[in-house]
Amino acid sequence: MPTTGNYFHLHLVSDSTGETLITVARAVAAQYANVTPVEHVYPLVRSQKQLDRVLDEIEEAPGIVLFTLLEKDLVARLEAKCQQINIPSLSIIGPVMQLFQAYLGAATTGRVGAQHTLNAEYFKRIDALNYTMIHDDGQHVEGLEEADVVLVGVSRTSKTPTSIYLANRGIRTANVPLVPGIAIPHQLENLKKPLVVSLHATPERLIQIRQNRLLSMGAGPGNDDYIDRQAVADEVAFSRRLSAKFNWAQLDVTRRSIEETAAAILKLFTDRQRQHLSE
């Protein structure tokens, strides 16, 4: 295997942002636990001069080349170079475009970065991000009814990063912390429009995350209850009681990544929308 130790070079060449390439490449690379890719990402490659630099770097560090280029001349040069130095290359969107073309019976328009145009969907995401930042961590609870999703949970259940991830998908998301001994906002009790999802994790997982958080902040004594096993268990029990009382959807995030948590919430949100449409 042409690697150095447990590493191999992975060149990702795109005429747009490279997000599609990065997502696909990392999804596949994650299946190989014993080797780690050294990523070389080249976004916005749209001219021969820009491609020249890319080809030089590929030649200096040979490896796998994945690309999303629409300009045929650029594709031809890149593939020719890879053949010349005997390394594999693959167009990530090429086979999919061919499938679409065969089914639809129409040629592509060849618009570079077409998925990133400033259309209604783009501005919906911007609006969602603005809303989410304003309504983070229990701020401006008077506007909770305007949300699509409201996340609740005790400290360190990934409410904020999950909210931002959902907002980037166009879902207006607010989040409200649940703290024993502090009454929840009355606005949260009477929500009609938003889907309220209560995020939970095991006490052991919460303690681990909180300890890491305190270490990163250089926090000293005075945080005993924050990482005390019984205190954290009481927080989790308090959160579950509230969820049952108000019939909130519940989601265990103990072993979930942010992406997995967001995907589960999106499914709940979509199912709820379908249910409302059928009523």
User: Known binder of ligand: residue 68?
Assistant: no
The verdict on whether residue 160 carries a ligand-binding annotation is: yes
Q: Name the token pair of 234.
A: 């009481």
| C-alpha atoms less than 13 angstroms from C-alpha of 77 in its C-beta half-sphere | 20
> Is 245 assigned a ligand-binding role in the annotation?
no
- In the block, tokens 């945080």 appear at 223
Answer yes or no: is 124 a known binding residue: no
Show the beta-strand stretches assigned E in the chain: 7-14, 36-42, 63-68, 89-91, 149-153, 173-177, 195-200, 249-252
Specify whether the backbone of 152 is left (phi greater than 0), alpha (psi in -120 to 50) or beta.
beta
Is 241 annotated as belonging to a binding site?
A: no
User: How far is Cα 135 from Cα 173, in angstroms, rounded to an integer?
Assistant: 8
Q: Is 193 known to sit in a ligand binding site?
A: no
Binding site, by residue number, is 153-160
Annotated binding site for ADP: 153-160
